[in-house]
Amino acid sequence: MGAGEPIGGKYFGVNKRWNPPPLPSFKRRNGELDPMEPLTPLETLCRIILRAKEYEAQVPTDYDGGEAPENVDDEGEETLSVLDDSINTSVEEELIAAIEDLAEDQQAELLAFAWVGQGTYEAADWDEAMEAAGEENNIVEELMDMPMLASVLEAGLAAFDINCDGIGDLT
């Protein structure tokens, strides 16, 4: 019996090392992208997007009456809305922890979705985006430094007809 032939239902002489599953890829068939099955559960992706929205949100600040004149409407001499741009550290910590809790390939997938969402890669170039994301040294930092993270992640998911409609809420 040669290598690779079954002996008693078992194969001998075949490479027994585990090969990881292939990265998700999207090929065009008849001009349409195959549906995507993300590595990361959709609920987890949506939770990260919700945390990113909370992180990026600005809330009204307490107006103390000492506002500069350029922040007052001309017509009614009423104050414009003033937004507090201070960082909510607990939400930032939750967002970072949610990203760090992902496996390395899931972090790379999240970054690839963000890159597709911001236009760095097209949906059809998913394999290339995943490969480049997998080579990033600090994915968490790359994502946290990304302007409008929640929006680009949503746009990246939307490029594959994936959305968070009906998953979670902001309450």
Distance of CA 116 to the CA centre of its chain: 10
Whether pTM > 0.75 for this model: the answer is no
Specify the pLDDT at position 65: 55
What are all long-range contacts of 39-44, with beta carbons under 8 Å and residues at least 24 apart? 39/103, 39/105, 39/106, 39/109, 40/102, 40/106, 40/109, 40/110, 42/162, 42/164, 42/167, 43/167, 43/168, 44/98, 44/102, 44/106
Query: Which residue segment(s) compose the domain that 151 sits in?
Result: 36-158
User: Is residue 164 one of the residues assigned to a domain?
Assistant: no
User: Is residue 127 one of the residues assigned to a domain?
Assistant: yes
The pLDDT profile of the chain, 171 residues, written as one tens digit per residue, is 455 545 555 444 444 443 344 444 444 445 555 678 899 999 999 999 999 998 888 655 554 555 565 554 445 555 445 555 555 678 889 999 999 999 999 999 999 999 999 999 999 999 999 999 999 999 999 999 999 999 999 999 999 999 998 876 544
User: Is residue 169 one of the residues assigned to a domain?
Assistant: no
Of residues 81, 104, 74, 99, the one with CA closest to residue 150:
99
Instruction: List, in sequence order, the alpha helices (H) in 57-103.
Output: 89-100
The two tokens of residue 12 are: 């001998």
CB-based contact 110:149 (threshold 8 Å): no
User: Is residue 15 one of the residues assigned to a domain?
Assistant: no
Length of the chain: 171
User: Is residue 55 one of the residues assigned to a domain?
Assistant: yes
pLDDT digits (tens, 9 = 90+) for 143-167: 999 999 999 999 999 999 999 988 7
User: Is residue 75 one of the residues assigned to a domain?
Assistant: yes
User: Is residue 69 one of the residues assigned to a domain?
Assistant: yes
Instruction: Compute the CA torsion angle 122, 124, 130, 132 (nearest 10 deg).
Output: -60
Number of domains in the chain: 1
Q: Please provide residue 136's backbone torsions phi and psi, each rounded to the nearest 5 degrees.
A: -65, 140
User: Is residue 113 one of the residues assigned to a domain?
Assistant: yes
